[in-house]
Structure 1
Amino acid sequence: MGTLVGHVAPGYAFLALGLWHLFSHIKLHAQQPSSYMSSPWFPTSKFRYLELFLIMLGSSISVAMELFIGPKKHQPLDTDGTIPSNHLHNFEHASISMTFFVYAAFAVLFDKIGPKAQYGLTQFLGALAFGQQLFLFHLHSADHKGIEGQYHLLLQIVIVVSLATTLMGIGLPRSFMVSFVRSASIVFEGVWFIVMGYALWTPSWIPKGCFLNLEEGHRVARCRSEEALHRAKSLVNIQFSWLLIGIMIFVMSFYLFLVKFYGDKVEYSTLTKEADLLDEDKDGLESQKSNKVGDKRSFMDIGRSFVPIDMER
């Protein structure tokens, strides 16, 4: 991170993951509304662990970029083996990626072994990954007092939602809303990373009165006055608000579309089966009633046939 690519690349990764989870949860709930059960990850038809392997691959690439490819010496340590101050943020970003790698690796392992606490442990590891992300972004070594700090402050709000809903999912595995909100927050996190990358490292997108300044080997957005900084932070807040509205509209429209596409078919087939069962039950009841009435009539007819004989006697 700390560059345009460093924010945009993980942003697209979070966006893809969030959209995949949003699609999968809505589809599962639309097809099985009464027996819905949340899942920390979703297998694909051709390759079961594709999602988890992509998380591990993306995390490995992120660690390599932060510690070995990005630094000029292709290693993050100083000549005496210590971590220099300008590479502290590289280790922080790499630690976040390592945590997501551990989550995905254990998710595969749990699925192969199949322990009884598989679902809860997988959710717990996912919560730890979001918790690690929140912890390191909140106590970031980089200077986040300017525009970049405002972007990261609002990012932490989204991460808190992801963390809270992941923890809630441990005790509420059948709650569709918990999974829905978590998926939407991951989508929002991905979009915010992408916007952050372009807004902070594209010169034409820097707010008026601010500029890009080269500091410790990477460019940082700085403002020339307190007034310009206040205006820039306000623009970031407005940007966040508009994106929130846009993502709200998108996820609700996405939900309605998928429910219409998947839910109607299941509902139609279910109603058809129920109607057939009701027809069969009605036919059965009518036949039973007719048999009972027939029995009564036959009994009465027999009784009537015996009445004259008794009278004659």
Structure 2
Amino acid sequence: MGSLVGHVAPGFAFLALGFWHLFNHIKLHILHPNSYTSSPWFPSSKLRYIELFFIMVGSSISISMELFIGPERHQPFDPDGTIPSNHLHNFEHAAISMTFFTYAAFALLLDKINPKAKYALTQFLGAVAFAQQLLLFHLHSADHMGVEGQYHLLLQSAIVVSLATTLMGIGLPKSFMVSFIRSLSILYQGVWLIIMGYMLWTPDLISKGCFIHSEDGHQVVRCSSDEALHRAKALVNIQFSWTLILVTVFSMAFYLVLVKLYGEKVEYSTLAKEEALELEEDSDDVESQKEISKHGEPKSFIQMGKGYAVMDIER
């Protein structure tokens, strides 16, 4: 991180994962509203572990960028083997990626071994990843007081939601809303990281009175006065609020669209089952009538009327 690409790339990864989970949870709940059970990850029809592979590959790329590709010497250590101050945040970001890699790797192994506690343990691993992410962003070695610090502070609120809902999912695997909110929080993390990347490292988008300044080999946003800093932070808060509204509107619209698409299939399937049951009942009634006629059981009013007519003629 610490650059436009360093925020936008992981942002798109979180956005894709959040959208993938949101789509699958909504679809699963629509198709199976009574038997819905959450899933910590979703296989695809062609490649079962594509989501987990995506996380592992993305995490590996992130670790490589932070520790080997990004640094000028292509390694993050000083000549004496110590970690220089300007590379502390690289190790922090790499630690987050390592935790997500660990989650994906063990989720894959748990699925292959298939123990009874597979679901709970996978959720636990996800919670550990979000907890690590929250901890390191909260204790970030980067500036906490500037504009970037305000973006990170608001990002932590989305991470808290992801962490809380993941922990809740362990005890509430059948709760659609827990899964829905978790998916949305992951998606929101991605959106906010993308916004952060563009707003902090695009000169034309930086708040009035602030500028990009190079410190210890990293570009950071500084403001010329306290008033400019206060204004910049207020604008960040407004961006967060507007983004929250837009993401909420999107999630509701997306849910309604999927209900329209997949809800009709459920209704058609239900009607087909009801019609099949009615046909079975009708056929049972016909068979029972045949059986009654064969064994001389009670006849219909028409048959009884015909019998009385014959008796009258004979008289």
User: Structure 1-normalised TM-score?
Assistant: 0.92
Deviations 1:259-293 (A, max 9, x none): 11112112211222113203432553576589779
Specify the SS of the correspondent of 1:220: strand
Residue 308 of structure 1 is matched in structure 2 by none
Residue 5 of structure 1 is matched in structure 2 by 5
Counterpart amino acid of 1:157? S
Residue 103 of structure 1 is matched in structure 2 by 103
Distance across 2 between alignment mates of 1:271 and 1:145: 61
Residue 53 of structure 1 is matched in structure 2 by 53
Distance across 1 between alignment mates of 2:179 and 2:214: 42
Deviations 1:60-97 (A, max 9, x none): 00000000110111111111111111111000000000
Residue 27 of structure 2 is matched in structure 1 by 27
Distance across 2 between alignment mates of 1:297 and 1:192: 77
Residue 309 of structure 1 is matched in structure 2 by none
Deviations 1:11-39 (A, max 9, x none): 00000111111111111111111111111
Moved more, 248-257 or 282-291: 282-291
1:137 and 2:134 aligned: no
Distance across 1 between alignment mates of 2:173 and 2:292: 50
Residue 40 of structure 1 is matched in structure 2 by 40
Residue 310 of structure 2 is matched in structure 1 by none
Residue 188 of structure 1 is matched in structure 2 by 188
Distance across 1 between alignment mates of 2:70 and 2:116: 42
Distance across 1 between alignment mates of 2:276 and 2:248: 40
Runs of 4 or more, structure 1, over 4 Å off, are 285-294
Deviations 1:202-223 (A, max 9, x none): 1101100111111010111011
Counterpart amino acid of 2:229? L
Residue 81 of structure 1 is matched in structure 2 by 81
Matches within 5 A, 1:91-240: 91-240=91-240
Moved more, 277-286 or 185-194: 277-286
Distance across 1 between alignment mates of 2:256 and 2:208: 40
How has the CA–CA distance of structure 1 residues 297 and 264 changed in structure 2, closer, same or farther, with 3 Å as cutoff? closer
1:295 and 2:297 aligned: yes
Distance across 2 between alignment mates of 1:155 and 1:286: 68
Query: How many angstroms does 1:297 deviate by?
Result: 5.1
Distance across 1 between alignment mates of 2:104 and 2:291: 64
How many residue pairs were aligned? 301
User: Structure 2-normalised TM-score?
Assistant: 0.91
Deviations 1:179-238 (A, max 9, x none): 111111111100000000000011101100111111010111011111111111110011
Residue 253 of structure 2 is matched in structure 1 by 253
Distance across 1 between alignment mates of 2:222 and 2:80: 32
1:90 and 2:90 aligned: yes
Matches within 5 A, 1:63-82: 63-82=63-82
Specify the SS of the correspondent of 1:213: strand
Distance across 2 between alignment mates of 1:218 and 1:141: 13
Specify the SS of the correspondent of 2:222: strand
Distance across 2 between alignment mates of 1:217 and 1:270: 63
Q: Pairwise CA RMSD of aligned residues?
A: 1.9
Distance across 1 between alignment mates of 2:51 and 2:259: 23
Q: Which runs of 5+ in 1 are unaligned?
A: 302-313
Alignment identity in percent? 71
**Contact 2:28-2:36 within 8 A present in 1 as well:** yes
Deviations 1:120-166 (A, max 9, x none): 00010001000000000001111121111110010000000100111
Counterpart amino acid of 2:261? F
Residue 310 of structure 1 is matched in structure 2 by none
Moved more, 201-210 or 259-268: 259-268
Counterpart amino acid of 2:239? Q
Residue 271 of structure 2 is matched in structure 1 by 271
Distance across 2 between alignment mates of 1:292 and 1:147: 87
